[in-house]
Every structure is written in structure tokens, then in C-alpha cells.
Amino acid sequence: MLARLLLIEDEAEIRTMLKLSLEDEGYVVHEAADGRSGLALFHEHQPDLVLLDLRLPDIRGLDVCRELRRESIVPIIVVTAQTDTHDLVAGLEAGADDYVTKPVVPKALAARIRALLRRVGMQEPAAPSTSAFGNIELREAEAVVLRRGQPLELTKTEFRLLCELAAQPNIVLSRDQLLEKVWGYDYLGDSRLVDAHVHRLRNKVEEDPQRPRLIVTVRGIGYKLIKT
Ligand code: CA
């Protein structure tokens, strides 16, 4: 599962630079330019980690931090000016888990994020990999799926669904888990969304979609991908 980050930073240039470099590291990044929209996005997306600049134009970053902490155990990394140790201490007191100083070095930041997510038991982004099951070869990095060596036309959602199932072969994933992983939020608990996509995916990857052998239904729970 890809970790989702919320980046709250008012300086557009820094925000864009961080977003791009973190996406390169394999994270999904939501961005907000001020504290209020940051809090709104937090409620909307329930990210796995928040990266919070302490100097924001509307509400103080410290107050955003406290606000987040009141309702959530989400890991928070605060971004402070290098010289401002007062801000840093206040940020940690307000509930931040870690901090980085400006100018932010993307590689160093990514290492802090990895460490923090590991601490809280969150999986790191999987290294882009190739896996094979049945007659299917999945090349994640290239976004290619082959069946008997022939490329399949999958939608992005079908592709992500297949990747999520393949990331945990032989383990049943509930419809809610798949909603969360593939769509990134609770789609009003609408499991039909998952069922419809599994159905379409089966039509493409299964030898006999009526008798699926790769993506099997676990009655009352969800789906699992069979890898022998
Ligand atoms: Ca700022």
C-alpha cells in the first residue's frame, strides 16, 4: 500500500518541489497552501503522515498541529526555519513526531518519513517490481500487465487493484481494505465499486472468468490473489 502524505506549506515553490520529490519516492501527496485547507484535506483524505510548515499565513502551524493531535495519532513532521529552535521545541510539544529544518533536503526528508512510517508500523512504498502468477506477469514500474506474454489493456483503477492484490498474495483483502488502498478513501462503504472492478479485472486476467483461479472470492470477506 502506498503511504499517503499531506503536505501543508504556503510557499508554492517549496511545496511543488517537495511534492514532486516525494512522489518520486513513491508516496501519494496531497497538498495544502494554508492551515485551514490543510485541516480540511486531513479530514477528507485521512493521510498516513502530515508534513507541516510551522509558518503559515492563516492559522499558526502550532495550532494546526495541536488540532490534528486532538483528534488523531497521525505521524506529524514539522518544518521549521533552521535558526528557530523555539519553534522546533514548541512544535514537538504541540505533538509533532519529528522535524526537519529549512532548506529541506528531499532525500533527507524522505529518510525521516520512512523511519517514522516504519516506527508506526506503516509499510514503505513497495519497490517497483515484477511479479508473476498464473499466466500473468505484472510489471509495476512500467505499468504493464502481460497475459501469456501479450499486453493487457487495463484501466488505471484495474491496474492499481491488481497491484494491491498482488502485493499481498494469498491473503484475503476485505472490500473496505481494497476501497481504501485503491480509491484512497472510504467510498461510502460502497463495496459494489470493488465488485465491479474485480469483475472487469477477471474478464481480462482470468482464463475462464466464470471460474476465477487467480482472483478468488472469499465469501463474506473479500478477495485474494492466488500465487502458487
Ligand atoms: Ca511558511
Q: Are residues 72 and 41 in the same domain?
A: yes
- Report if pTM > 0.95: no
How many other C-beta atoms lie within 10 A of the C-beta of residue 27? Answer: 23
Q: Exposed, middle or buried, 53 (CB in 10 Å: 0-12/13-18/19+)?
A: buried
Across the chain, which has 228 residues, the per-10-residue mean pLDDT values are 91 95 93 97 95 95 93 87 78 81 89 80 61 91 90 83 93 89 62 81 94 94 93
- Res 130: pLDDT: 81
Residue at 126 is within a domain? no
Ligand 1 midpoint to CA 87 (Å): 12
Residues 49-96 pLDDT 10s: 999 999 999 999 999 999 998 888 788 889 988 777 788 778 877 888
- Where residue 62 sits, what CATH number does that domain have? 3.40.50.2300
Residue at 175 is within a domain? yes
Q: Are residues 116 and 27 in the same domain?
A: yes
- Res 90: pLDDT: 84
Ligand 1 midpoint to CA 205 (Å): 48
Domain span at 64? 4-121
Ligand 1 midpoint to CA 188 (Å): 35
Q: Are residues 112 and 144 in the same domain?
A: no
Ligand 1 midpoint to CA 94 (Å): 17
- Compute the distance between CA of residue 121 and CA of residue 105 in angstroms, rounded to an integer: 24
- Res 182: pLDDT: 77
Asked if 162 contacts 205 with a C-beta cutoff of 8 angstroms, the reply is yes
Ligand 1 midpoint to CA 85 (Å): 16
Residues flanking ion ligand 1, Cβ below 5 Å: 10, 53, 55
